[in-house]
């Protein structure tokens, strides 16, 4: 297969280098990744400045370039300009330094690159993260990615679905299993540190840690806690279909200029 690899830690991060080189053992790999760390960028796009490319060789890959943009920019640029004559079969994003569990996925640049690939290719892509902020042990994630890519090639998933993978931070021999999971409900206890700078001005640092409390046994958070790899099918169609019938009787009148009486006020729920 032809695989586009990206990430959010930047092209110089060991996670992407080990992932790209490992996938290149069996596939044609092209890397387009940010030129520097872009963690917690969510699905940000660069609209107000031009994007520039630079070659950064990675062993075994067919091509490898960095971009002065976000993960979503990288995938858009690769699939919309750089690779239009040789489109990849798949986008694999990672291996992220640190977990992307539960609500993390909405902040994650790693996941956004895989979402963008899924949108543009119309096929399920993969985001993969190592649940540790040390740089040890990306190899086991890369080996799992090889297996997962092979399995994914023979499978279909519904429109707008992709896979979010987390690998526990244990020795490869200590991985207890692989679980298909749902996202946990992990919350952050967002603490802000208020400080005063040398000129007397107040500023704030975002601090706070994840609180993984009362997680159900079938979640990604629990899988990682049990030293298992988690594979979570996620999707980017955010419609909450279950709420549509409930909202049929909401009273949402058409706005009228102040002073004009509101008539009717029935909500139109055609199609539901």
Spatial distance between the Cα atoms of 165 and 230, rounded to a whole number of angstroms: 6
Nearest distance in Å: CB 207, a second copy: 9
Spatial distance between the Cα atoms of 70 and 57, rounded to a whole number of angstroms: 20
Spatial distance between the Cα atoms of 11 and 56, rounded to a whole number of angstroms: 8
Residues 114-143 within binding reach of a second copy (CB under 8 A) = 115, 119-120, 140-141, 143
**Strand 202-206 relative to strand 187-188, pairing:** unpaired
Among 59, 172, 211, 213, binds a second copy (CB under 8 A): 172
Residue 161 found at the interface with a second copy (CB under 8 A): yes
Spatial distance between the Cα atoms of 249 and 269, rounded to a whole number of angstroms: 9
Among 135, 147, 153, 213, binds a second copy (CB under 8 A): 147
Residue 79 found at the interface with a second copy (CB under 8 A): yes
Tell me phi and psi for residue 173, to 5 degrees: -70, -15
Among 26, 135, 153, 205, binds a second copy (CB under 8 A): 205
Residue 180 found at the interface with a second copy (CB under 8 A): yes
Question: How many residues make up the chain in this entry?
Answer: 272
Spatial distance between the Cα atoms of 240 and 48, rounded to a whole number of angstroms: 32
Q: Given the complex with a second copy, which of 134 and 243 has the nearer CB atom?
A: 243
Residues 210-269 within binding reach of a second copy (CB under 8 A) = 216-218, 228-229, 231-244, 246-248, 250-258, 267-269
* Structural tokens at position 191: 């603490």
Among 62, 121, 178, 210, binds a second copy (CB under 8 A): 178
Tell me phi and psi for residue 72, to 5 degrees: -65, -40
Residue 204 found at the interface with a second copy (CB under 8 A): yes
Q: Are 170 and 227 in contact, with CB atoms under 8 Å apart?
A: yes
* Structural tokens at position 36: 């520097």
The SS3 assignment for 112 reads helix
Q: Given the complex with a second copy, which of 136 and 267 has the nearer CB atom?
A: 267
> Can you tell me which residue has the tokens 């919350």?
187
Residue 170 found at the interface with a second copy (CB under 8 A): no
Residues 95-114 within binding reach of a second copy (CB under 8 A) = 103, 105-107, 112
Residue 153 found at the interface with a second copy (CB under 8 A): no
- Residue range at the interface with a second copy (CB under 8 A); choices 10-18, 27-35, 36-44, 93-101: 36-44
Count of residues that interact with a second copy, criterion CB under 8 A:
101
Residue 55 found at the interface with a second copy (CB under 8 A): no
């Amino acid at each position: 297969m032809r695989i586009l690899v990206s990430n959010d830690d930047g092209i110089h991060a060991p996670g992407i280098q080990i992932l790209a080189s490992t996938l290149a053992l069996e596939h044609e790999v092209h890397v387009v990744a940010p030129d520097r760390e872009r963690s917690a960028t969510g699905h940000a796009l660069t609209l107000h400045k031009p994007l520039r490319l630079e070659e950064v060789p990675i062993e075994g890959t067919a091509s490898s370039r960095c971009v002065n943009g976000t993960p979503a920019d990288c995938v858009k640029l690769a699939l919309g300009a750089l690779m239009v004559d040789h489109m990849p079969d798949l986008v694999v994003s990672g291996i992220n330094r640190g977990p992307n569990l539960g609500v993390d996925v909405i902040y994650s640049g790693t996941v956004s690159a895989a979402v963008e690939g899924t949108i543009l290719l119309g096929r399920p892509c993969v985001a993969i993260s190592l649940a540790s902020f040390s740089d040890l042990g990306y190899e086991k994630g890369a080996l799992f990615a090889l297996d997962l890519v092979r399995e994914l090639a023979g499978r279909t998933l519904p429109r707008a679905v992709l896979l979010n993978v987390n690998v526990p931070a244990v020795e490869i021999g200590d991985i207890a299993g692989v679980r298909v999971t749902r996202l946990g409900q992990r919350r952050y206890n967002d603490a802000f540190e208020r400080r005063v700078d040398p000129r007397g001005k107040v500023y704030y640092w975002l601090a706070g840690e994840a609180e993984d409390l009362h997680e159900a046994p079938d979640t990604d958070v629990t899988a990682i806690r049990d030293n298992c790899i988690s594979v979570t099918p996620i999707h980017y169609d955010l419609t909450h279909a279950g709420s549509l019938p409930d909202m049929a009787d909401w009273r949402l009148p058409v706005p009228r200029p102040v002073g004009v009486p509101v008539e009717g006020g029935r909500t139109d729920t055609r199609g539901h």
